[in-house]
Amino acid sequence: MGTVNAEPYPYTFEPAKTALIVIDMQRDFIEPGGFGDTLGNNIGLLAAIVPTTRKLIEACRRHGVRVMHTREAHRSDLTDCPPAKRTRGNPSLRIGDAGAMGRILIDGEPGNDIVAELAPLPDEPVIVKPGKGAFYATALGDILRLQGITHLLFAGVTTEVCVQTTMREANDRGYECLLIEDATESYFPEFKRAAMEMIRAQGAIVGWTAPLAALEKAFAVPA
Ligand code: TIU
* Whether the bond into 15 is cis, omega within 30 of 0: no
- pLDDT, tens only, 160-215: 999 999 999 999 999 999 999 999 999 999 999 999 999 999 999 999 999 999 99
Question: So which residues are the catalytic ones?
Answer: 24, 129, 162
Backbone φ and ψ for 156, nearest 5 degrees, come out as: 115, -165
| Phi, psi of 176, deg, nearest 5 | -90, 115
**Predicted local distance difference test score (pLDDT) of residue 202:** 98
Rounded (to 5) percent helix, strand, coil in the chain: 40, 25, 40
pLDDT of residue 25: 98
pLDDT the model gives residue 92: 83
Find the residues whose C-beta lies inside 6 A of ligand 1: 24, 29, 39, 72, 132, 157-158, 161-162, 187
Q: Which residues of the chain have a pLDDT value below 50? A: none
| Residue 33, pLDDT score | 84
Closest C-alpha residue for ligand 1 atom 2: 162
The total of other beta-carbon atoms located within 10 Å of residue 19's CB is 24
